[in-house]
Amino acid sequence: METLSIILLCVFIPVTVLLSICLLCIHSYWKRKWKSITKENDIEAKGDIKIGFQGRLEDAQRGPSHQDPTFVADEKLGGRKKKQKKKSKATKRSIDVENQDGAKQIRVEESKLFEFDPPIGNKNLGNTCFFNSSLQALYFTKFFEDALSLLKVSAPNFQNLKLTKSVLELLEKKNVNHTQELRSVLNAVRNINNQFGRGTQEDSYELLNTLLGGILDELQNGDRTCKPIDVDSGVNGISLKNLFTGIFITIYVYDSCNDVEVDFEEFTTLSIPIADNIDQNFKKLPHRGLQTISSEDPRFDIEKGLAVLTQIEDYEESDLPCRVCNIEGTGKAYRRMLVFTPPPVLVIHIDRFKMNDFNRLTKNAQRLKYPRIFNMAKFCSVANTELSTNSLNYELYAVVVHSGALGGGHYYAYVNTTRMHDVEKWQEHLKRSPLDLEKLKSNVEEFLRKRHEFQDDSGQTEVCKVKDSWFYVSDESVCSASVDEVISHKDAYILFYEVH
């Protein structure tokens, strides 16, 4: 019996071991087979992403694109993300889109995603929060640094442009210790307006106008403008003036003679009042030449302020006689100021100053509603036939806030570091050549005399959305913020929009 047991064990153990080895081999084979099948299915399912990123992978291998050098391809290659020094990146990705019914659709399309590095705070040099907050908005303005860099290599006497040179040096070092450069910009601004840099709290909007106006004046006085560059050449010509400067058109029409007269004026910022109510008669046009591209009603508070800024004013012709025919009529004369050419960067100042019951200037702390994206067609003249509703969408990217009373308080900023970028729209703005305003004046007057009916270009356009990145920046303090925290802030003072 014992002998039989030993024989059975000698047979059973080798057989068991052999079967175990076979089962392990079979398991290993099917495991490898299953991974291969899964990988093939995954590649097939993500074929659109593979195709969508193919151009970026090729660009990453051969370096920056020659067609658009302001963007640098950024992709995960081999599971490791390539770090780039350039702040802007060209991407193709899936975008959530809300259709008119509110339902979300997902589509994959080629588009530009403009990304900045997270903000670095500015040291307070002594009540300079008004200065720091405006600078933060400029830090995150598309192509602002690029435009100054182009001047550095194209202007022979760039070293003599003290303000322009100091601002560029600050932009180049803003991500490291830049206190000295910050002080240099403040000193250069003080040379233009000595109220700044005295250690007292000043107005952030006045500082911004002084800074931008000072740079543009240096360029104009030095006669150093960027040469227009052919877009087809693959080089982006970035005019600093075109970046911020828009054109107003003021239209005069007269009942008696039906003459039309226009004037043009440049602007770099818009200052709007806080309007509780607007006159609904602003849509009743005595002359269709006063019409805007879109006749939609203003919905947000800043749109109401823009409606007040661009409303129709009427006078007796005896008080405002026609300068075309020099005939003093007995009817009405009408005047309306509209935007003829909006800039790619639209800066809107909310006028919060008001007189109280004691005839003293105080701060109007009323909360205003301002959209993240809105359309400027409601405030642009039909006289500019090159504009359309689709080209006039603007997206909020920075807000300067003033908290506290008129005589003191604190300034800080919100900035968005991630936005979509429509290259074609920006190039249309940035390549704009200087206008012959006298010739334009004659052409527009003739156009408005001949045409009295215009097609209303109203209608909401579908806008792509991406996940943005908002930050709160107060001097040297920086932290992330939500878009809900930014939109309709009760103390918003300066709004920065860019063409979307």
The least confident of 124-128, 312-316, 392-396, 425-429 is 425-429
Higher pLDDT, 145 or 85: 145
- Whole-number pLDDT of residue 53: 26
Q: Is residue 402 situated within a structural domain?
A: no
Range 306-319 average pLDDT: 92
Higher pLDDT, 16 or 342: 342
Between CA 257 and CA 447 the distance in angstroms is 16
| Residue range 32-43, pLDDT digits in tens | 544 444 434 443
pLDDT over threshold 90, residue 348? yes
Host domain of residue 183: 129-221
Q: Is residue 153 situated within a structural domain?
A: yes
pLDDT tier at 134 (50, 70, 90 boundaries)? very high
**Other residues' Cβ atoms within 10 Å of the Cβ of residue 229:** 16
pLDDT over threshold 90, residue 464? no
Residues paired with residue 375 on neighbouring β-strands, in sequence order: 393
Q: Is residue 211 situated within a structural domain?
A: yes
414-447: b (≥16 Cβ within 10 Å) or e: bbbbebbbbbebbbebbbbeeeeeeebbeebbeb
Q: Is residue 169 situated within a structural domain?
A: yes
Number of domains in the chain: 1
Higher pLDDT, 460 or 380: 380
- Whole-number pLDDT of residue 96: 40
What strand order describes the sheet that includes 72-73? Answer: 72-73, 89-98, 104-115, 418-421
Higher pLDDT, 447 or 42: 447
pLDDT tier at 455 (50, 70, 90 boundaries)? low
- Whole-number pLDDT of residue 451: 61
Q: Is residue 395 situated within a structural domain?
A: no
| Residue range 181-233, pLDDT digits in tens | 999 999 999 999 999 988 888 999 999 999 999 999 988 876 444 443 332 32
Q: Is residue 151 situated within a structural domain?
A: yes
Q: Is residue 253 situated within a structural domain?
A: no
pLDDT tier at 468 (50, 70, 90 boundaries)? confident
Task: Name the percent of the chain lying above pLDDT 90.
Answer: 42
